[in-house]
Structure 1
Amino acid sequence: MKSIRNSGSFLFSLKLLDKLVEKLYNTISGEVSLLLGLRGEIKFIKSELQIMNAFLRRAEGIQDVNEAARAWVMQVREVAYDIEDCIDEVSLYLLHSEEHGFVSNLFRPKRWFGRLGDHRQLAAQIKSLKSEVEEVSKRRLRYQITELNKGSSSEYKVAEHDPRMAALFVEESQLVGIEEPKKKLLGWLLNEDDRRLSLVAVVGGGGLGKTTIVRKAYESPNVTGGFFQCRAWITVSQQHSIDELLKDMICQILPTPLVGLRKMNMAKLIEKLRKHLEDKRYVIVFDDLWTPGAWNSLELSLPKNELGSRVMITTRINKVAESCRAIIPGHIYQPEKLSDEKSFDLFCRRVFPGRACPDELGSLSRDILKKCDGLPLAIVAIAGVLSSKPKKDQRE
């Protein structure tokens, strides 16, 4: 479409969203939204764009933007282009309609029926855009990208880089050792013979790639393609508010925003979740769980409905996994460190994509990998640093 699409700057994203917020409402919030019954969708898209714009303004000018935030900005930009394309189509549609007396002839049945296909197509496009915007917004919460820390000065900075993020945004073709654990997890998730609400816990020390393994299973087409009617990804971490985690679940699970959500207490939130989930097959992930106490509160929201629902957790602590399994029966999977050869394979895929490791760097690469001790996240992190350097700097 536009050549400027390749720009990587926050500034361009800001200018684009500034223009879109105004253009969106001016172009399609009037007669089209009224005729198609889409005023709510248009209002939602506008509000979400304004929130995204606020985030980009606060992130603008930051020199060291973390990888998750950068990936999210790219997704915002792509959605913005989709919205702009839709606005252009609607503008042409309105122009064509005016030339043919569309507005004045709305209530002449034959003319109206002739345009019905166009109406439906436009309505479907706008509803699809709403879903896109909604998903991008949920990712801000899911990956904690919106969490901004205020420093000693008046400037804001993006939350400190979480090394797990680098692995989450790596294409699966560049990962090593993921297929076997992913297959095992999917076998437990999709077992139709087990109708109980059951647990899949991934347990192990930091850097083993627990979150990445669960994420790849969670995003598998077998899981996203309709097997589960509801799904949500909740990042718990050491510092958390149970109320906020429950609200996040509701935002991901309910198809439409819940009125009064922000004012609800824990009991009400749990009630809403149980009521919505009681007749559905669902999969919920609680990533980075640290205490049995957090689990004891969160699991109250999960009805045991005998429909084959699943709960997945990641934790570093065996005791936490066992506490979870004491309440909801299931499976515990413990990832292993990568072998020397698999470590080298992963490293080379990241540092030398599409080509073999140069002979003169082979020995040095293996020395670096010894310090990574077979931990996938350590390998991805160091490979990410090296891959961003010119070849001359890599040798140094």
Structure 2
Amino acid sequence: MLEDMVVRIYTLHHFTRYDKKRIKGYKLSKDYDSFVSTPDLDIELLKENFSFDSNHFRHALRVSIATTIGYILSFILKLDYSYWVLLTILVILKPTYSLSKQRNYQRLLGTVSGAALSFLILYLISSEQAKFAVMIVFILITYSFIRTNYLISVIFMTSYVMILFYILNTSHFLSVIENRVVDTLIGSVIAFLSSYIFVPSWEKEQIRNYMQKAIENASVYFNTVSNTYITGQFDDLKYRLSRKNAFIAQSNLSGAFNRMMNEPKSKQENIKNIHQFTVLIYTLNSHIATLAHFAQKTSYKYHSLDFKDIGEDILSDLGTTHRILTDNSIEPKEVSTDVSKNLKVQVNQIVEKRRKELQHNLMDTETRTILMEYKPILDQFLFISRIAEDMKTVSARF
């Protein structure tokens, strides 16, 4: 056992040691800089946030009002641990209502469950040393889950705090638990009411911006991939950057939609259309990703100016969708589907030619290779074209 531990430690040391000779000639790729966002410290940005249009300013104002109320209330009620009220408010209040609601639920449930768990531990374990050991384990669990599962973290945090107070002062233990639960309840109520009353931030006010960003980045993503089929050259850096931005934008849109679903029904607008739009964004990006997969393997064989028309047609639909979301007065325009029809004719011709070859028992032919490689590419362009039209239709309903 001891030898195995020594070997493991040596292995870790071997792979994590700093070797100047090896590192000296190694240089990071300059491409990495393109994937790192460096925030600019600008005084104008600070000025812009001193406005009710800024979510950061509204959140800061909401927290200030809530903590002031919490402090005054704890002073009036003469609470022994008034800082627990303020701590609860600071932990629960988030920039959006849905996140505050979720954190509020987790804090309350975690506190009550943690108090019950501490009672159980103290009742079952009589040894002071064993209680202290359990407390150490609970501390480790608390800070292991504090970033990944807040509910579990609060349960064990409350438990180890209760056990600690019991060890320090057994006679006032029940009073400490009572204060802990009451203070958490007061802080939770203040935080919940503050998130709903004081300059609240509803997702319906921001969701359109997320939709615009999603369609904008998806357009760039598609343009990058479709150009590969026109030029025959695959720009890997540009592709990875556009893919990253498109996926981040779709994740932000999905997150905003999920937060809206947790808000009061009265604050939800166009929920069905937003859901449909979000699904279409995910579908669009997935088909673009499939097209990119084919581009990396076969674009050098099948690049052609024939893809230019369908690409421009799709970008036109996506651009119209973006303009509709930006300006409600713009109506979707009817776009000719001749390009799509021409591609369908090409696909049907390839399929028909292959069918005739099979009738004559011709197996390994050039048509078979084209059907396997070229037809999926055409299918993806047609799928994306159909999705772009659907997005234009859905956006017109807002």
Q: Does TM, normalized by the shorter one, top 0.5?
A: no
**TM-score, length-scaled by structure 1:** 0.24
The TM-score normalised by the length of structure 2 is: 0.24
Bigger share in helix = 2
Q: Is the radius of gyration larger for structure 1 or structure 2? A: 2
